Amino acid sequence: MADPLTILIAARDEAAVIARTVQTLREQFPGAKVIVADDGSRDATAERAEAAGADVLRLARRGKGQALTAAERAAAPGALLLVDADLSGDVRPLLSENGTLRIAAFARKQGGGFGIAKRTARALIRLRSGFQAREPLSGQRFVPAAARQAVFPTAPGFGVETRMTIDAARAGVPIDEVELDLTHRATQLDIAGQFHRARQLLDALLAAGPLRTNHRGERVPLVGWIVALQEPAVTAIGLADDAWSGPERGFAAHLRAGRSTGVLKAVGIPLVGLVRTRSLSGALLVALSANALNQLDTKPGRALKAYLLAALAVDAPLGLAVCLLPYDLREMAMLGDGGANGLGAMLGLSSVNRFTGRGRWVAIGALAGLTLLGERRSLGELIERTPVLRELDAWGRRQA
């Protein structure tokens, strides 16, 4: 090959097979470096990979996509070969010198379930890019040097393959699926196998949607649109801010900018509250609650924790936030303005039902004060300087 080759393997608890896989790949590609991204293994995966001659990245548990992203950053410039840790067979036919991204299609079917995850991934790829994939979930892929920027950083979790194909096709990278006589440890129709396929399905659905780059430089799904299932109007206004917002931050900056998505939120969310509650105080509660939660959405899990605590007090819906919290804390997804504003509006609407008269205006005053404080100082800094709040804020969040 004209370009140097690096082989990337994401592995978790693969001590039984990782040495064999690394040794086989080193035999097939004598000049290539093998990088194993050990994704929080609880066994001897890292040690056995190193003993077999691989460079090992020891990571906290982050999921397949983020592990591969870390490995790609550690790789030298050039082409990449992505291989699953439990693969057996000759993958040399995947290599290409014409800039084509090549994907291995297994010649023989092994195990598997009902094909729901695979059919869904095919449909998502076709919908988002027009490419008709045969093996949308295959992890055996050759990525030419010219295509690395188009497909990395990858989507997190098991959505990595689905999104990689979408990104490559939309960037105009040629894609070829090559049938190879390969084998791997197939999932079965037991509880563990069904759980794995459910995770594949969910991760593929999230990966095919909008992605954003977080503070670590990793791409994660923007899941705020899910909140539209319970609060469509305000969530839609927030999603407009996600899609078209400029550099402005805070009310004053948006007002100076004139026509901005911030001004749209400042006008549109109170109008939604006015229509829904038919009262000025209700409109203010909805708007201020939405803004307060949006101000807190600056670290993973922070806004959702605040929502859950407030929801217990005002009897707001809990289910959606409970489901989203693990993904947000593990940085597998982010709320964005759509999700934060939508959830905040739900708190405001529940507060209208909970508070009347003087109690409602006290709540409005408290939220207005919080908004003014957030305009002048960072609410995140205040939380991190307050011992009890700092500990609650950090609970469950990925630290490294």
The predicted structure's pLDDT at residue 195: 78
Residues 209 and 241 in one domain: no
The predicted structure's pLDDT at residue 173: 96
Looking at per-residue pLDDT, the higher value among 254 and 347 belongs to 347
Residues 197 and 335 in one domain: no
The predicted structure's pLDDT at residue 111: 61
Lowest-confidence region among 147-151, 229-233, 331-335: 331-335
Residues 234 and 265 in one domain: yes
On whether residue 387 sits in a domain, the answer given is yes
Residues 269 and 244 in one domain: yes
Which pair of structure tokens corresponds to residue 89? 């067979």
Q: Is the pLDDT of residue 306 over 80?
A: yes
On whether residue 163 sits in a domain, the answer given is yes
Between the CA of residue 208 and those of 123, 160, 216, 360, what are the distances in Å? 10, 10, 21, 42
On whether residue 400 sits in a domain, the answer given is no
On whether residue 151 sits in a domain, the answer given is yes
Q: Is the pLDDT of residue 126 over 80?
A: yes
Residue 102: pLDDT band (50, 70, 90) is very high
Residues 181 and 313 in one domain: no
> Domain total for the chain?
2
The predicted structure's pLDDT at residue 249: 61
The predicted structure's pLDDT at residue 302: 94
| Residue pLDDT, tens place only, 151-185 | 999 999 999 999 999 999 999 999 999 999 888 77
Which helix H or strand E contains 39, and what residues bound it?
Answer: strand 33-39
| Residue pLDDT, tens place only, 230-248 | 999 999 999 988 887 766 5
Residues 206 and 338 in one domain: no
Residues 325 and 353 in one domain: yes
Contact of 69 with 218, CB cutoff 8 Å:
yes
The predicted structure's pLDDT at residue 16: 94
Between the CA of residue 375 and those of 78, 288, 304, 335, what are the distances in Å? 46, 13, 21, 21
Residue 198: pLDDT band (50, 70, 90) is confident
**Cα distance between residue 366 and residue 397, in whole Å:** 28
Backbone angles phi, psi at 334, to 5 degrees: -140, 150
Q: Which domain holds residue 267?
A: 222-394
DSSP string, 282-351: HHHHHHHHHHHHHHHTTSTTHHHHHHHHHHHHHT---HHHHHHHHHHHTTS-B-HHHHHHHHHHHHHHHH
Q: Is 369 exposed, middle or buried (0-12, 13-18, 19+ CB in 10 A)?
A: exposed
Looking at per-residue pLDDT, the higher value among 350 and 200 belongs to 350
The predicted structure's pLDDT at residue 345: 96
Q: Is the pLDDT of residue 187 over 80?
A: no
On whether residue 108 sits in a domain, the answer given is yes
Residues 333 and 370 in one domain: yes
The residues that bridge with 141 in the sheet, in sequence order, are 82, 103
Residues 178 and 281 in one domain: no
Q: Is the pLDDT of residue 255 over 70?
A: no
Q: What is the mean pLDDT of residues 83-94?
A: 93
**What's the half-sphere exposure (Cβ side, CA atoms, 13 Å) at 127?**
13
Residue 256: pLDDT band (50, 70, 90) is low
On whether residue 399 sits in a domain, the answer given is no
The predicted structure's pLDDT at residue 216: 83
Q: Is the pLDDT of residue 15 over 80?
A: yes
Q: Is the pLDDT of residue 367 over 60?
A: yes
| Residue pLDDT, tens place only, 207-228 | 998 898 887 888 999 988 899 9
Residues 82 and 126 in one domain: yes
**Cα distance between residue 140 and residue 142, in whole Å:** 7
Last residue of a domain, one of 160, 193, 213: 213
Last residue of a domain, one of 183, 213, 243: 213
Residues 244 and 209 in one domain: no
Q: Is the pLDDT of residue 106 over 90?
A: no
The predicted structure's pLDDT at residue 197: 81
The predicted structure's pLDDT at residue 379: 87
Report the share of the chain in percent with pLDDT over 90: 66
Q: What's the chain's average pLDDT?
A: 90
Residues 174 and 303 in one domain: no
Which pair of structure tokens corresponds to residue 151? 């497909």
Q: What is the dihedral of CA 257, 258, 264, 267, to 10 degrees?
A: 120
| Residue pLDDT, tens place only, 17-35 | 999 999 999 999 998 999 9
Contact of 348 with 286, CB cutoff 8 Å:
yes
Longest dimension (CA), the chain: 77
On whether residue 20 sits in a domain, the answer given is yes
Q: What is the mean pLDDT of residues 53-82?
A: 95
Last residue of a domain, one of 213, 239, 269: 213
Q: Is the pLDDT of residue 257 over 60?
A: no
On whether residue 104 sits in a domain, the answer given is yes
**Cα distance between residue 211 and residue 120, in whole Å:** 19
Other Cβ atoms less than 10 A from the Cβ of 51: the count is: 14
Q: What is the mean pLDDT of residues 36-59?
A: 96
Give the domain CATH number at 104. Answer: 3.90.550.10
The predicted structure's pLDDT at residue 380: 87
Q: Is the pLDDT of residue 253 over 70?
A: no
Which helix H or strand E contains 104, and what residues bound it?
Answer: strand 101-106
